[in-house]
Amino acid sequence: MDTMTILSLSVETAIGPVAAIYVLAAIGLNMHFGYTGLLNFGQVGFMLVGAYGVAVSVATFGLPLWMGFLVSLACSVVLALVLGIPTLRLRSDYLAISTIAVAEVLRLVYRAEFARPVTGGVYGRQSFADAFYDANPLPEGSLGVGRVDFSSDELWLMLVCWLLVAAGLAMMALLMNSPWGRVIKGIREDEDAVRSLGKDAFTYKLQSLVFGGVFGGLAGAMIALNQQNITPDQFMPQVTFYLWAMLLLGGVGTIWGPVIGPVIMWFMLTLFDETLRGMASTGVLPFLATSDSGPLRHALVGVGLMLLIVYRPQGLVGNRKEMLVNVK
Amino acid sequence: MSSDATPGAPEAGQDRMAGTAPETGSAKTDPILKADGIRRSFGGLTAVDVEHLEVQRSTITALIGPNGAGKSTLFNLLTGFDRADAGEWSFQGRRIDRMAGHKVARQGMVRTFQLTKALTRLTVLENMLLAAPGQRGERFLGAFGRWLWTGQEAANRERAMELLARFKLDAKKDDIAGSLSGGQRKLLEMARSLMVEPSMVMLDEPMAGVNPALVQSLLEHITALRDEGTTVLFVEHDMDVIMGISDWIVVMAQGRVIAEGRPADIRSNEHVIDAYLGAHHDEPGQGAQQKEEGP
């Protein structure tokens, strides 16, 4: 296992489809938390309904794939409304509690025995993504630059994911530089002040929850396409917390934060993983079994995040002055 | 005109309230706000129980009273930031009880807060622009159509800069509001409330925590507002300030209005003195009776 292989593997993960999917979900979370100040601890719930939107529509009901996508988006909107309408009038902690609970309840419902005819229960759903890969316009074989290369199908999915990311970022930039975005950021700072100036904070918060949730749903739909096999237990609560870690790493409340965070995080995870594995297999670290590298990489990433919070709490692209304004 | 009016000129005040009797719940000649039977209790404690209250248009009305008198609660109720148990009130002839806070603000009654609420991570100018009413770019879909709102935005920016200049904050327009001093935040909050184009401003302790040099300038802004025709209702503790600039004073104690009148009337009113200093036990006045009625 040489350095170049480790690096090229890390780069492949950092720009690969999974990273792009996390970027999409992080963009949504950034809308919620970074701009509006909504504590959404259930972004994985949006990903779940998004993934199953595609899978169930196609695999269970035989609908075309594009309709599956529409179902995904509709499910995310409904989930946002269900979460938001009862809780957004209350203090922000209520949303936090509800989101984490609802995401977990959704997972349990989707894997339950009674849901099996529709969702496949614990076995999930398979073979619903063929139409997507049939539409692949790229030539067959592996494509890439130097040692970084992808299979044709992987590249096709990556391309679509990153195009979605680009579209999402463009929308985000337009929105956040508009009067709408100003009200949203005002709500993050002080909701009562915004209400006292004649703005209906509740409606704005609901719009933000729906819009950010749609990105979560979109990320879920892309997970479904990427794996072509989804089960409920892929949508454990820790996915949400990875997203939070990535967003904080990149920089909360910035356009590029949710892009840079996941990319760097996936790069580091693979780098640590491959390096540890390489060291273990060559016997440099005799006390380390190859199977230990998985947990250990997370420990190392944890240390990295702690250092980040201490020395760069604004994230990689955040503004330190803004970050520390309320800490006096 | 406004610059000539020295805060504290007693003649100016008395003219504005001509024909109004200095008694609790008195009718005003041109009321902008009329309230009846406002009640709000927290558990067993009746925080506000106001039978009748009117506020005269284009005057400075002060709301005073000892701590826990219910002033801030009454403020919250009137502006839709708290829900009353009972009561009806109307603003400019329109019922606004049970109306949500943001809708009350759109009617033209804009409040500030005791603990200043500057939007700290927005710039001073963004704070101002946020408050402008009826922005097309404020709607979710409207935000995407820049051409729809750039003209409106430019006009708002111009108005915001005029207001900032008036409050001597124009040099700070690109600083984040969190970097302002406490007094400057008070000024910003007042300037921001004017962006809504209110006909009545409700100031909750505008002088709290402001250094004495800035108090004078805040007072001038408040009297200038009145002279332009805006009605001001404010809660304050500093007696010199209150006696100096108010046209009318409403005194609350234990949730009730116990006295109303011009500064001169209030100064000599014994209920007020009782409420502030405590009634003597050997000569029971009304203040003492009210204390016994209390919870």
Q: Which two tokens stand for residue A52?
A: 């199953």
pLDDT of residue B211: 83
Indicate whether B232 and B173 sit together in one domain.
no
Which of B138, B139, B185 is the best substitution to test chain A (most A C-beta atoms within 10 A)?
B138
Indicate whether B95 and B241 sit together in one domain.
yes
Closest residue in A to B138 (Cα) is: A180
Residue whose structure tokens are 């269900």? A82
Q: Which two tokens stand for residue B171?
A: 């040099």
Domains and CATH numbers, chain A: 3-323 (1.10.3470)
pLDDT of residue B182: 85
Indicate whether B219 and B158 sit together in one domain.
no
Q: Decide if B137 and A185 are in contact by the 8 Å CB cutoff.
A: no
Torsion sign, CA atoms A284, A285, A290, A295:
negative
A207 touches B140 (CB < 8 A): yes
Q: Which of B152, B179, B206 is the last residue of a domain?
A: B179
Residues in B touching A187 (Cβ below 8 Å): none
B255 touches B70 (CB < 8 A): yes
Indicate whether B21 and B150 sit together in one domain.
no
Pick B138's closest partner by Cβ from A180, A195, A322: A180
Mean pLDDT per block of 10 residues along chain B (295 residues) reads 42 63 81 92 90 92 89 92 92 91 94 89 95 93 92 95 93 92 90 94 88 86 92 88 90 90 86 72 46 43
Maximum pairwise Cα distance, chain B: 74
**B87, containing H or E segment:** strand B86-91
Query: CA distances (Å), A29 to each of A33, A139, A212, A244, in order?
Result: 6, 35, 6, 8
Pick A182's closest partner by Cβ from B129, B142, B193: B129
Write out chain A's pLDDT in tens, 328 residues: 688 888 999 999 999 999 999 999 999 999 999 999 999 999 999 999 999 999 999 999 999 999 999 999 999 999 999 999 999 888 888 999 999 999 999 999 999 999 999 999 899 999 898 889 999 888 888 887 778 888 889 999 999 999 999 999 999 999 999 999 999 999 999 999 999 999 999 999 999 999 999 999 999 999 999 999 999 999 999 899 999 999 999 999 999 999 999 999 999 889 888 888 888 777 777 776 767 777 787 788 788 888 888 888 888 888 777 777 765 4
pLDDT of residue B114: 86
Crossing angle of helices A43-55 and A17-29, in 10° steps, is 130
- Assigned domain for B135 exists: yes
Domain assignment of residue B251, given as a range: 10-118+198-293
Chain B nearest CA to A157, separation (Å):
28
Pick B122's closest partner by Cβ from A180, A185, A196: A185
- Assigned domain for B141 exists: yes
Contacts of B31 (CB under 8 A, 6+ apart): B54, B55, B56, B57
Indicate whether B282 and B202 sit together in one domain.
yes
Return the number of CB contacts < 8 Å for A and B: 115
Which of B78, B96, B103, B122 is the best substitution to test chain A (most A C-beta atoms within 10 A)?
B122
Indicate whether B152 and B67 sit together in one domain.
no
A303 exposed, middle or buried (CB, 10 Å; 0-12, 13-18, 19+)?
exposed
pLDDT of residue A317: 84
Strands B200-204 and B109-111: parallel
Contacts of B53 (CB under 8 A, 6+ apart): B25, B33, B34, B35, B38, B250, B257
C-alpha–C-alpha distance, residues A272 and A278, integer Å? 10
User: What one-character DSSP code corresponds to residue A31?
Assistant: I
Domain tally for chain B?
2
Name the percent of chain A lying above pLDDT 70: 98
Indicate whether B240 and B252 sit together in one domain.
yes
- Assigned domain for B23 exists: yes
Indicate whether B62 and B170 sit together in one domain.
no
pLDDT digits (tens, 9 = 90+) for A14-69: 999 999 999 999 999 999 999 999 999 999 999 999 999 999 999 999 999 999 99
Return the bridge partners of B176, or none: B123
Report how far Cα B167 is from the mean position of its chain's Cα atoms. Answer: 18
ipTM: 0.86
Q: What CATH number did the domain enclosing B101 receive?
A: 3.40.50.300
- Assigned domain for B268 exists: yes
Task: Pick the closest to residue B133 from B155, B116, B148 (CA basis).
Answer: B155
Contacts of A67 (CB under 8 A, 6+ apart): A57
Chain B nearest CA to A319, separation (Å):
10
pLDDT digits (tens, 9 = 90+) for A274-309: 888 888 777 777 776 767 777 787 788 788 888 888
Indicate whether B158 and B258 sit together in one domain.
no
A151 touches A138 (CB < 8 A): no
Which of A36, A189, A195, A197 is the best substitution to test chain B (most B C-beta atoms within 10 A)?
A197
Residue whose structure tokens are 């001169």? B264
Q: Decide if A326 and B120 are in contact by the 8 Å CB cutoff.
A: yes
Q: B-side interface with A, Cβ within 8 Å?
A: 79, 81, 100-103, 105-106, 110-113, 117-122, 126-127, 129-131, 133, 135-140, 142-144, 146, 149, 153, 176, 178-179, 192-193, 195-196
Pick A189's closest partner by Cβ from B112, B113, B121: B121
Return the bridge partners of B48, or none: B40
Indicate whether B284 and B209 sit together in one domain.
yes
Residues in B touching A178 (Cβ below 8 Å): 137, 142-144, 146, 149
Pick A189's closest partner by Cβ from B119, B133, B196: B119
pLDDT of residue B240: 83
Angle at CA A144, nearest 5°, toward A139 and A146? 145
- Assigned domain for B184 exists: no
- Assigned domain for B1 exists: no
B158 touches B228 (CB < 8 A): no
Indicate whether B210 and B234 sit together in one domain.
yes
Return the bridge partners of B260, or none: B250
- Assigned domain for B185 exists: no
Residues in B touching A192 (Cβ below 8 Å): 81, 101, 113, 117
Q: Determine the straight-line distance between the first and last CA of chain A, rounded to whole angstroms.
A: 49
Task: Pick the closest to residue A67 from A75, A58, A59 (CA basis).
Answer: A58
Angle at CA B36, nearest 5°, toward B203 and B24? 75
Report how far Cα A311 is from the mean position of its chain's Cα atoms. Answer: 25
pLDDT of residue B11: 47
Q: Which two tokens stand for residue A209?
A: 């929850």
Chain B nearest CA to A97, separation (Å):
25
Indicate whether B249 and B274 sit together in one domain.
yes
Q: What is the mean pLDDT of chain A?
A: 90
pLDDT of residue B141: 93
A175 touches A181 (CB < 8 A): yes
Q: Which two tokens stand for residue B203?
A: 């100031």
Pick B130's closest partner by Cβ from A182, A200, A207: A182
- Assigned domain for B192 exists: no
Return the bridge partners of A230, or none: A125
Where helices occur in A88-200 by DSSP H, the ranges are 92-111, 116-119, 130-134, 152-176, 179-189, 191-196
Q: Decide if B140 and A211 are in contact by the 8 Å CB cutoff.
A: yes
pLDDT of residue B281: 44
